[in-house]
Amino acid sequence: MDFERGIREADETDLRTDELVINMGPQHPSTHGVLRLVLRTDGEVVSEIVPHIGYLHRSAEKIGENLSPRQFLPYSDRLDYLAAMNMNLGWALTVEKLLGMEVSEKCRHLRTIVCELDRISSHLVAAGCYGLDLGSFTPFTWTFREREKILNLFEAICGARLTYSYITVGGVTADAPPGWLKQVEEFLDEFTPVIDELHAVLTSNSIFIQRTAGVGVLSPEKAVDYGCSGPVLRGSGVGWDMRRDGEPIYARMYEGYKFEVIASVNGSYPQDEKYPPVPVEAIVGDSWHRFYVRMLEVVQSMKIVRQAIEKYSQCGGDVGKPIALKMKLPKGESYLETEAPKGQMGFMIIGDGTPVPWRVRIRSSSFCHASVIPELCRGLLIADVPAIVGSLDVVLGEIDR
């Protein structure tokens, strides 16, 4: 009898489980940078998750308070280093707003071309790395192959492939070289069929759908509460885009352009293209929808670039030139948010009459998206964490500013 009781107690002891604390990162391929996630798990279920940031902190804001706006431009490249053109644009427009400066129409169209190409490049990285996170290697090679073509175009226009410092306060550093616009059109023509291939291997892939559909559902209300923006917000069905809804100094860049703000309406999307259908398992606000929004935005960016090339070709004049290195800033403050590929990027600058700003502040969309990770991962499996983090497409250079 005692022997049987001892066996029973031993079995009960073996079945007893304790919570386990697991570190994911800061050196981990699925955290998209030096992000450390501390997971508290009960078996395979995540009961709590805490993001730890700061491993890439470089005091960008404080550096901005010790340099002139033109000198700070290369530091803006290092925020979202996967979308440096858009970072340059946000900083340049904010300073131009403070100075009451307007660039020429030709410059605006050229800025639109490079920023939308940069958006395509950023979304390609997001899609390729997301497939890699979930075990699909082929899309990663395809997306980076196409991204290389965009980087070749950027190298031709400004000499750099990652951190450009091309869009500057007062205009751009140089006009497009002869034949460059034709090269852009050739890239768009070559890239169009690749989108269908990516949809075939990722968007419509049954394994990809099982890993992402219904996983990490972010309701529209919570997306707004957490300050989410960009594809994360639009993936929850909120049709908000600063290119259409932003301040005039930024929205003027897209005035007269025809494009759709990609957001789900009752579970469906604008069907002006042959998009794959939304799977029945998908829920608006889940990881699949966030990925899908980026894929559709690539098509819209291609349309914008084609329109911008046509508008640019009809413009005369110059594309502006950088302001003086030590140009004095007026007393006052300026704040502006732009629609960067990962979401709304905000810059604030306060001038005090000297060439160096009194205060510089940067608002990061990725910081808000990292903040929502605990909400989305609670109660799910450990294997779902990379699927959720990858769908948010955070970049740590922007968070650790």
pLDDT in tens, 127-178: 999 999 898 889 999 999 999 999 999 999 999 999 999 999 999 999 999 9
CB atoms under 10 Å from CB of 148, counted, come to 13
On the question of pLDDT at 2 being above 60, the answer is no
On the question of pLDDT at 6 being above 60, the answer is no
On the question of pLDDT at 267 being above 90, the answer is no
Rounded average pLDDT over 184-206 = 93
On the question of pLDDT at 293 being above 90, the answer is yes
Query: Is the omega angle on the peptide bond into residue 322 within 30 degrees of 0, that is, cis?
Result: no
Rounded average pLDDT over 376-380 = 93
pLDDT band, residue 12 (cuts 50/70/90): low
The CA distance from 240 to 231, in Å, is 10
Residue 401 or residue 243, greater confidence = 243
Question: Is the domain 49-399 a CATH 1.10.645.10 member?
Answer: yes
Rounded average pLDDT over 207-229 = 94
pLDDT value, residue 4: 53
On the question of pLDDT at 10 being above 50, the answer is no
pLDDT value, residue 273: 58
Rounded average pLDDT over 7-12 = 50
pLDDT band, residue 7 (cuts 50/70/90): very low
pLDDT value, residue 237: 92
The pLDDT mean for the chain works out to 90
On the question of pLDDT at 32 being above 90, the answer is no
Summarize pLDDT for 312-366 with one digit per residue, the tens: 999 888 988 899 888 999 999 999 999 999 999 999 999 999 999 999 999 999 9
pLDDT value, residue 277: 84
pLDDT band, residue 1 (cuts 50/70/90): very low
